[in-house]
Amino acid sequence: MLQVILKLTGIFAVVSFLAIACGGGDVPTQAPQNTTAPPEVSFGQPGGPIPPHAFVGTVTVDGAAAVDGTQVTAFLEGVPDSVAGTTVTDGRYVIKIVQRSSSSTLFADRKITFKIGGRDGSPTAVWISGAADELNLVVGSGAPPAVDAPPPVDVPAGALAISTEGDTLKFDQASLEAKAGSTVTVVFQNASTINQHNWVLVQSGTKDEVAAAGTEAGAEAHWIPSGDDRVLAKSGLLEPGGTQEVRFTVPAAGTYQFVCTFPGHNFTMFGDFIATP
Ligand SMILES: [Cu+2]
């Protein structure tokens, strides 16, 4: 019995210690002291550091989490070169935008824009010295995954629309047609509420081989082999509810295939693409 009491006392002591160590209980936590001089004092004075503006958040490209290594660059309104850059890790980025004290360009209250893999991202922000913000960046058709069936998509005049048959592993069109040599826009909507899909135009008779190569390329590659001559046009891997416009030059007259290269989908999710003379 005594042993049990001693054991319990020991556990209590450990719990109390942890509570204090973690700043819990009645122990007040000390806010970190800001010892940095305020920006208005530092501007233009050599050696006077100006606290940067930090941003962290997720990066979504065409409805899917950005692959590792995707470039994120920040631009200051009116400055042609980027003012900061980083790369995506695990779908997230961290960027600190520093105004050098020697800089003649004052950053305060100016607009910050972001590029993701060279494309204009959203949203934008305003630079504030010492601020740290959670800002989730999106580029392309980066609508957040829909919970319900997505609404109809606006299809531009002359574009070809293709979707999925709800949650089945099928496209809603058995074939698409466009004039050889013309520039066409395929608007691909992933109408599924559960599955990721892509739309890939490939040489005739190669859909299963390309899908197998895509499986080897992996999810980071959107299940599409890179630098593969059999791939003629492609969307990214779209989250449920996502939409992407794929713009490309229609190849020479003939019959081609389109397919979803998500592992296993290629057996039911494909169709013919006919390039008319
Ligand atoms: Cu699919």
Summarize pLDDT for 56-74 with one digit per residue, the tens.
999 999 989 999 999 999 9
More confidently predicted of 48 and 75: 75
pLDDT above 50: residue 5: no
**CA–centroid distance, residue 197 to ligand 1 (Å):** 4
User: Which pair of tokens denotes residue 27?
Assistant: 């122990």
User: Which pair of tokens denotes residue 148?
Assistant: 């319900």
E strand or H helix that includes residue 93: strand 92-97
**CA–centroid distance, residue 242 to ligand 1 (Å):** 12
Ordered by where they begin, the domains of the chain are 39-139 (2.60.40.10), 160-276 (2.60.40.420)
Structure letter (DSSP) for residue 80 = S
**CA–centroid distance, residue 264 to ligand 1 (Å):** 8
pLDDT above 50: residue 17: no
End-to-end alpha carbon distance in the chain: 93
**CA–centroid distance, residue 267 to ligand 1 (Å):** 10
Give the angle 173-244-94 at the CA atoms, nearest 5°: 150
pLDDT for res 107: 85
Q: Determine the Cα–Cα distance for residues 187 and 76; give it in Å rounded to an integer.
A: 33
The identity of residue 114, as a single letter, is: F
Q: Determine the Cα–Cα distance for residues 110 and 116; give it in Å rounded to an integer.
A: 20
Peptide linkage before 277 cis (omega within 30 of 0) = no
**CA–centroid distance, residue 247 to ligand 1 (Å):** 20
When pLDDT is averaged across residues 200-215 and rounded to a whole number, the result is 98
- For the question of whether the overall pTM of this predicted structure is more than 0.85, the answer is no
**CA–centroid distance, residue 38 to ligand 1 (Å):** 54
pLDDT for res 48: 60
**CA–centroid distance, residue 141 to ligand 1 (Å):** 17
**CA–centroid distance, residue 181 to ligand 1 (Å):** 28
3-state secondary structure of 267: helix
Which positions ≥6 away from 243 have C-beta within 8 Å?
63, 141, 143, 150, 153, 187, 188, 189, 190
When pLDDT is averaged across residues 92-110 and rounded to a whole number, the result is 82
More confidently predicted of 184 and 106: 184
**CA–centroid distance, residue 182 to ligand 1 (Å):** 27
